[in-house]
Amino acid sequence: MSVMPAPNAPPELSLESLVKSFQLIKAQEEHYRSLRVEIELAISALIPGELEGTESREVDGLKIKVVRKLTRTLDEKLYFKNMYLIPKSIDPVIYKPSLDLKKLRAIETANPEVFAVCQKFISVKPAKDSVKVEEVE
């Protein structure tokens, strides 16, 4: 395990040193995440509760909260076969518009006039950069 530089030490900013630091910290992060998940499971097992809901305990001046949830997914085919049986006013299914990025990019290239219209209702902002470092084979 490498020793981290002192907080006031000037960082070495070569690509090589940054990549080595990245790999070391990424490996540590994955290791500690795995340990954290194991500990969460053990804590959860020691604080029983319903399938959904929140259970709280206090230990050594710390409040521990275990939140349990169920994941629900929609089978669209079955929903469409049965949606007429549910009054619209209480239908629990919401459809939200979303962008088809593949079509949008095709329109940008093939049909600039339509793309200009699309730009009126689409906001664009940079996302967080993704960095991946892999061993070369």
| pLDDT confidence band for 129 (50 / 70 / 90) | confident
Read off the pLDDT of residues 64-123 as tens digits, 9 standing for 90 and up.
999 999 999 999 999 999 999 999 999 999 989 999 999 999 999 999 999 999 999 999
Number of CB atoms found within 10 A of residue 111's CB: 12
Q: Which are the contacts of 122, defined by CB distance < 8 A and separation ≥ 6?
A: 99, 104
Buried b (16+ CB within 10 A) or exposed e, 31-64: eeeeeeeeeeeeeeeeeeeeeeeeeeeeeeeeee
Retrieve residue 11's tokens.
Answer: 């960082």
Three-class secondary structure of residue 53 per DSSP? strand
pTM of the predicted model, to two decimals?
A: 0.64
Read off the pLDDT of residues 25-77 as tens digits, 9 standing for 90 and up.
999 999 999 999 999 999 999 999 999 999 999 999 999 999 999 999 999 99
